[in-house]
Amino acid sequence: MPQGWEEIRAEVLTRIRTRRWPPGAVIPTEEALALEFDCARATVNRALRELAQTGMLERKRKAGTRVAMLPVRKATLDIPVIRQEVAAHGQVHAFRLLLQTTGVPPIAVAARLQLAAATPLLHLQTLHLADGRAYVLEDRWLNPAAAPQPLPDFSEISANEWLVAHVTFATGDIAFSAEPASTSEAAALSVAEGAALFITERCTWGPDAPITWVRLAHVPGYRLQTRL
């Protein structure tokens, strides 16, 4: 007899995986399961809610709970923080500020940030190193209006870490893709032009104004991995 919501979750998961409750089937109500497992309905609710959150179950009031037709559709992904990511590999992290200017960003960047046209932003290019070798090339446009003055010396502190510590964050999105290395990217990362790079692109907004747009070009061989 399972006890505790985790064991109940495991038991339900087993019944799904062994096809005792096949995809599409309606499973017993919370009340019935609470009776079977001899626990409170809230405990069953907790277990089933967690399974619904990962996409194994689909729940609707009155209609009941059914096993998803295509189970395992969601994964939680750790968004790596570069310094920690490098440290986790037992390597030494360092970075070099390649570029720091102010100017109007490309249309594509302004559009993603939903920025009024021709707003000047701070443009930073940073190369992150792991044990002295190129690891990630960071291309960032930063809205000074979103940050408290004065801005720090970004050759000493990473923009990402300073921002999360000092700027109020409201919302954001993140996208992953593959792109060929441009001439300048290839040079910075010491790879061939056109090499397949894993790209992470992030936008963040504050309560009132866009904060920053970042594009991380990862060195070939980079993998983003998670359990299902």
Partner DNA sequence: GAGTGGTCTAGACCACCTC
Partner DNA sequence: AGGTGGTCTAGACCACTCT
Binding site for its own copies (CB under 8 A): 17-19, 22-23, 69-79, 81, 84, 161, 164-165, 168-180, 194-199, 202, 204, 207, 218, 220-228
In 3-state terms, what secondary structure has residue 55? coil
- The residue among 53 and 101 lying less far from DNA, judged by its C-beta, is 53
Asked if residue 200 lies in contact with residue 216, where contact means CB atoms within 8 angstroms, the answer is: yes
Which of DNA, its own copies, none interacts with 208 (beta carbon under 5 to 8 A by kind)?
A: none
**CB 103, min distance to its own copies, A:** 26
Of 134, 137, 108, the closest CA to residue 125 belongs to 137
Kindly report whether the peptide bond that precedes residue 150 is cis, defined as omega within 30 degrees of 0. Answer: yes
From 4-12, 80-88, 107-115, 171-179, give the range in contact with DNA by CB under 7 A.
4-12
Does 25 participate in binding DNA (rule CB under 7 A)? no
DSSP string, 84-114: HHHHHTT--EEEEEEEEEEEPPPHHHHHHTT
DSSP string, 20-48: SS-TTPEEPPHHHHHHHHTS-HHHHHHHH
Does 43 participate in binding DNA (rule CB under 7 A)? yes
Does 12 participate in binding DNA (rule CB under 7 A)? no
Q: Which of 62, 70, 108, 156 binds DNA (CB under 7 A)?
A: 62
Q: Which residues bind DNA (CB under 7 A)?
A: 3-6, 29-31, 38-43, 45-46, 48-49, 52, 59-65
